[in-house]
Amino acid sequence: MLDWPELESACLSCQKCALAETRHNVVFGDGARNAEVMFIGEGPGEQEDLTGKPFVGKAGKLLDDMLTLIDLDRSKIFIGNTVKCRPPQNRDPLNVEVEACIGYLRNQVALLRPKIIVCLGRIAAMRLIREDFKITKEHGQWFEKAGVQMMAIYHPAALLRDPRKRPETFEDLKVLQAKIREICTHTY
């Protein structure tokens, strides 16, 4: 396992898949490196690719608002993605791209040792919780893997496309807030 500086250096110079040819920046992840709560999306979008920071576009602004609703902010959590480079036209990451990149995410999780992982959207949930995960039926439910509490919520971009899902997501966020208060010691 690499330490934080080694991991970030390896990630920033990665050439393991074709996404390296089209990226502007690697989006390594951002936040507290002792966070008890980790949010994981599928991959960077256009604004993220341009800035090298996760969730900075419209979906990122909505994520910030969602975090505020439950008394969180980026300084208390860590945000990463299943792939660190933007897939062209924001398409879903290909399996070969996720496989090339997943080791970086695993290393981040191993360094953080979070108590809670929140998957943002079905792509992350299908990779991290269960291959046949159904976001419309299983969002907001808790799963335990290797001692880590995991849940998935709708991706903020999905909520921008379909605001009717926002009330369900608000309920999921309250469930998350309750779990954080129950098991985390330094998030609040």
Q: What is the pLDDT of residue 187?
A: 55
Q: Is the dihedral of CA 136, 62, 40, 182 positive or negative?
A: negative
Q: What is the mean pLDDT of residues 174-178?
A: 98
Distance CA 57, CA 7 (A): 25
Closest alpha carbon to 150 in 185, 115, 175: 115
Is residue 43 helix, strand or coil? coil
What was the pLDDT predicted at 188? Answer: 54
pLDDT one-digit tens code per residue, 55-66: 999 999 999 999
CA 129/CA 40 separation, integer angstroms: 11
**How many beta carbons lie within 10 A of that of residue 38, not counting itself?**
25
- Amino acid letter, 160: L
Cα–Cα distance between 47 and 67 in angstroms, integer? 20
Write out pLDDT tens, residues 22-43. 999 999 999 999 999 999 999 9
What confidence score (pLDDT) does residue 127 get? 95
What is the rounded average pLDDT for all residues in the chain?
Answer: 96
Per-residue pLDDT band for 90 (boundaries 50, 70, 90) equals: confident
pLDDT class of 103 with cuts at 50, 70, 90: very high
Amino acid at 31: G
Mean pLDDT of 92-118: 97
pLDDT in tens, 126-166: 999 999 999 999 999 999 999 999 999 999 999 999 999 99
Q: Say if residue 6's pLDDT is above 70.
A: yes
Over 80: is that where the pLDDT of 186 sits? Answer: no
